[in-house]
Structure 1
Amino acid sequence: MSNEGKIAIPSLGKVVVVGGCGFLGHHIVNRIFKRHPDTKVAVVDLRTNTNRSSNPNASYHDTDITDPNAVMKVFGQFRPDVVIHTVAALPFAKPAMHDKVTIEGTNILLRAAQEVGVKAFVYTSSASVILDGKTELVNGDETWPLVTGKKQPEYYTTTKAYAEVAVLEANRSPSYPNFLTCAIRPAGIIGEGDVQTLPKMVTACRKGQHKFQVGDNNNLFDFTYVENVAHGHLLAAQALLHTHKILPTIPLDTERVDGEAFFITNGQPVYFWDFARAVWHETGDRMPLSSVWHLSHEFAMAIGTILVWAFWLLGRTPNLTPAQVRYSTMTKYHSIDKAKKRLGYAPVVDLGEGIKRGVKYILDQEVAESEKKGQ
């Protein structure tokens, strides 16, 4: 259930949400109007034709963030106090696209924000920037080193890490000492509009794949409801604006937000297959645990490897891969103590409620599509 009241908080001034029509971005826009109703919001996205109906009071700007002139035009007209940057290349994009969108696009946004006098810049990084795909991640915190290059199995994550570094290095730079930045590192975002985690799990259930479990289900994992991630971003923006008011003072290291990164999760690590079964239960599954087939990690890896090669010959991707086996059997959860202490962060919606909302959204969308086709 939700843990927060309904008292509106003062305006954040003018806020640009980059990627504000995407999954996380539009939830951030929703939350701004919910919690800071007097704030003026401009949404910047490559295409702004989705997720607009719930926020008609925002202005929408079709903008390619890799085009410096286009970005400068919007920023120059709107003159934002805050920029919240949620855009990255899609995980399956080619390396050149990751470089162009995630790294180059971020640098273009930073330069434009500095030039027009933005006070606060909040970047959406990723909790996976400290994950190497092999090492168990137990209560990982912000002191853990970034994992990039050859040590990082996902090029998407490498570029997210490089962009995060660029954002944090821009904080209080000699040329722009009043420009404050920070990074939010969310883990496993789920919720209404999720296109990666919940839809795949619902599909897996309908294919009968919920009958199988890989490993012993003793690996804790972080999943985070999207509104909690949006909440973390706005707390960060508030903190940066507060710090901006007391410039050039620099807060104590134990209180500082500008120039810092923060993990944001639900603070409820859950056993991976317990999470999956909670999703499947909301989908309609009522199969008893005694009917679940348990596959060892080694056996599943062998099968996944065989399937990858067999499906590669067919030009397709199998439902079981070695990467998926590792993902579903490794421990991966984070500490949110820093966010609690410095941002005042606490999840506003618990994980069980987040799962219910996310799956209900998928099922409602399916009904709406079915009715539309039947007309």
Structure 2
Amino acid sequence: MAMNDDTNNNVNNGEDLKTCVVLGGRGLIGRSLVTRLLKLDNWIVRVADSDSSIQLDELDDDSPLSQALASGRASYFHVDVRNKAEVIRAIEGAVVVFYADTLDSCTHDFYSSYTIIVQGARNVVNACQECKVKRLIYNSPADIVFEIGCDIKEGDESLPYVGKFGSMLTDLKAQAEAMVLLANDIDGLSTCAIRSSNVFGPGDKQLVPLLVHMAKSGWSKFIVGTGKNVCEFTYVENVAHANACAEEALSSRMVSVSGKVFFITNLEPIKFSDFVSAMLNGLGYQRPVITLPAVVIKYLIFLVNLMRLKMDSTSVNRVLELSSCTRTLNCSSAQKYIGYSTVVSLQEGITLTVESFSHIAQDSITKYGDFAEQSKANKLLGNGKAADILLWRDEKKSFTCFLSLVLFYYWFFLCGRTFISSLSKLLLLIIVSLSLYGRLPSTVSGVTVPRVPSSYFEISEASMRNTFSAIGYMWNSGCHLVESLAQGEDWNAFIMIVALLYSFKLIASHSLILATGIALILAFNVFFIYEQYEEEIDGAVTSLLIHTRKAGGWLLMNLPSPMVSLLPGRGTSSEKPSYTFKAE
């Protein structure tokens, strides 16, 4: 749907209507801005975007935009900002252009990104000057002044562009913003820029979906760093309001606003972990509970990339940056010069966002940990308590077990005592503790001391029977395996056991203590990671096995006939057998 309505003198309730253009009108900021302008009742709004048609959602059927399209107060233009002629067609006759590009932050194509962001901004500026547009307002991220790994407290608009940008898109948007500001007061065009920090809201395709994806995969349970870093978030409707304020200020107070930039936030700094907790709690997911140093997460990302597993490293690095640095901004200039104030509080914005994402809330999908089909990692660990602990089903229980094992490891291996002396001291410590505990009165300072019944230390007959049954089963299985190996029936098992025994021999000859510590750490990580990336790891192992089998087949086919005849099952025939290897 495209309507070329360039009339600026339509009358609505006795007031003159002005024509404006929202470039990127179907993006996160653009949608909210279009709605806000239509509610002001003094604008004819042209929605311009790269989509071939406006494609209203079901929820937009009764929206102000839908009604405005029907009444003629709004129109849609398909615009590719790389095509200057299309830009001119959309903005001709307008008095103001709001520019909010909608390029996906996950793209890695530099040429395409450059032509859309930088060349697109150049085309928009030139088109505005040719069409005698009076005002151009550009929306850019506050990230263009954030140095990687550096804190910013109460930063204002005097901050320069950083020397090293956090991503390619941030670099390109800084160039586009600079181009728009340099065009100020040329050919009658007044410009300014709105720098919003961490925009979120209904329709968000970046921050909220990323948090939900991390919650599904189990990574959101970790607090990166200290968890005390503070960030600024901005609800999208406040960004739209800031654009409207900037337009009004440009039209009346040209000197103090034109050619300037303004930081926009919700004016409510919040800990990043608290924001994530509020968002995930609202969607029914578990809030972060385990604190990890940022360097550990960086190493994990490095290992994942090294293994060539599927991961959106750009988005993950974005979250890592947000969760490890404090960045607060001073919006006093926006409040003073363009009259900005929040129209939606942070808590209300979180609530509205959560409601809009109800389709991906915890209740609408399989709950994490409740699998319709058990994972391979869970099956390998026996589907019992060990699986729950090593797969971090209950973080507190898993962390308690890990910490207890670390203390045992230190007590028996690192303290410098022999194993017997360590065990005797541990038993002595337990006996003394229990003796002192048993002598405590029923109440201490008004606090009731719980009593542990003697039956707590008893082992039931059923448990003992199950334990010995399990030991007997393991013994019998071992006997059958030894018998099978002795008869040469299972060469795959033979090779695997030889490899394991030889590996153990190498480890034991160097440092059994170090190997035990590494095994302890891996036990609480390997199965958890395998469960998250089961398909990718299985695919890599299958590929490795296929290539190994092909190499083995090639080796057998090229062995001398006498050596082939010595192999089990090959007989004394001098003819080399043919081998066919089938990928499973």
State the one-letter code of the partner of 1:161: A
C-alpha contact (below 8 Å) 2:99/2:136 kept by paired residues: yes
Q: Does 1:66 align with 2:82?
A: yes
Structure 1 segments (4+ residues) deviating >6 Å: none
Instruction: State the TM-score, normalized to the length of structure 1.
Output: 0.84
2:293 aligns with 296
Q: Gaps spanning 5+ residues in structure 1: where?
A: 1-7, 244-249, 371-375
1:170-319, aligned counterparts within 5 Å? 170-173=183-186, 176=187, 178-243=188-253, 251=255, 256-285=256-285, 292-310=289-307, 312=308, 314=309, 316-317=311-312
Which one is further off, 59-68 or 49-58? Answer: 49-58
Q: Shift of the alpha carbon at 1:237?
A: 0.8
Q: Shift of the alpha carbon at 1:217?
A: 1.0
2:401 aligns with none
Q: Shift of the alpha carbon at 1:365?
A: 7.3
**Residues 120, 227 of structure 1: alpha-carbon distance in 2 compared, 3 angstrom cutoff:** same
SS of the aligned residue for 2:357 comes to helix
**Residues 321, 163 of structure 1: alpha-carbon distance in 2 compared, 3 angstrom cutoff:** closer
State the one-letter code of the partner of 1:40: I
1:100 aligns with 115
State the one-letter code of the partner of 1:270: I
**Residues 316, 212 of structure 1: alpha-carbon distance in 2 compared, 3 angstrom cutoff:** closer
Match of 1:167 among 180, 184, 188: 180
SS of the aligned residue for 1:40 comes to strand
1:140 aligns with 155
**Residues 326, 42 of structure 1: alpha-carbon distance in 2 compared, 3 angstrom cutoff:** closer
C-alpha contact (below 8 Å) 1:198/1:359 kept by paired residues: no
In structure 1, C-alpha distance between the alignment counterparts of 2:122 and 2:191, rounded to whole Å: 13
Q: Shift of the alpha carbon at 1:276?
A: 0.4
Q: Shift of the alpha carbon at 1:113?
A: 1.0
Q: Gaps spanning 5+ residues in structure 2: where?
A: 1-12, 69-73, 366-584
| Structure with the bigger percentage of helix | 2
Identity of aligned residues (%): 30
State the one-letter code of the partner of 2:20: V
C-alpha contact (below 8 Å) 1:85/1:124 kept by paired residues: yes
Q: Shift of the alpha carbon at 1:65?
A: 1.1
Match of 1:40 among 10, 19, 44: 44
SS of the aligned residue for 2:282 comes to helix
SS of the aligned residue for 2:195 comes to strand
Q: State the superposition RMSD in angstroms.
A: 2.4
C-alpha contact (below 8 Å) 1:88/1:101 kept by paired residues: no
Match of 1:80 among 87, 94, 102: 94
State the one-letter code of the partner of 1:337: S
Q: Deviation string for 1:29-53 (max 9, x for gaps)?
A: 001112x213100011111434464
1:129 aligns with 144
Q: Does 1:329 align with 2:346?
A: no
C-alpha contact (below 8 Å) 1:66/1:108 kept by paired residues: yes
C-alpha contact (below 8 Å) 2:135/2:247 kept by paired residues: yes
SS of the aligned residue for 1:125 comes to strand
Q: Shift of the alpha carbon at 1:321?
A: 4.9
Instruction: State the TM-score, normalized to the length of structure 2.
Output: 0.55
State the one-letter code of the partner of 2:260: E
1:10-29, aligned counterparts within 5 Å? 13-29=18-34
SS of the aligned residue for 2:223 comes to strand
**Residues 259, 320 of structure 1: alpha-carbon distance in 2 compared, 3 angstrom cutoff:** closer
Q: Shift of the alpha carbon at 1:11?
A: 6.6
The size of the alignment, in residue pairs, is: 338
C-alpha contact (below 8 Å) 1:146/1:161 kept by paired residues: yes
Q: Shift of the alpha carbon at 1:366?
A: 7.3
SS of the aligned residue for 2:262 comes to strand
Q: Shift of the alpha carbon at 1:207?
A: 3.4
Q: Shift of the alpha carbon at 1:316?
A: 4.6
In structure 2, C-alpha distance between the alignment counterparts of 1:211 and 1:266, rounded to whole Å: 26
State the one-letter code of the partner of 1:305: F
Q: Shift of the alpha carbon at 1:241?
A: 1.6
Q: Deviation string for 1:189-222 (max 9, x for gaps)?
A: 0101011111222333333333222221110011
SS of the aligned residue for 1:111 comes to helix
In structure 2, C-alpha distance between the alignment counterparts of 1:158 and 1:319, rounded to whole Å: 14
1:90 aligns with 104
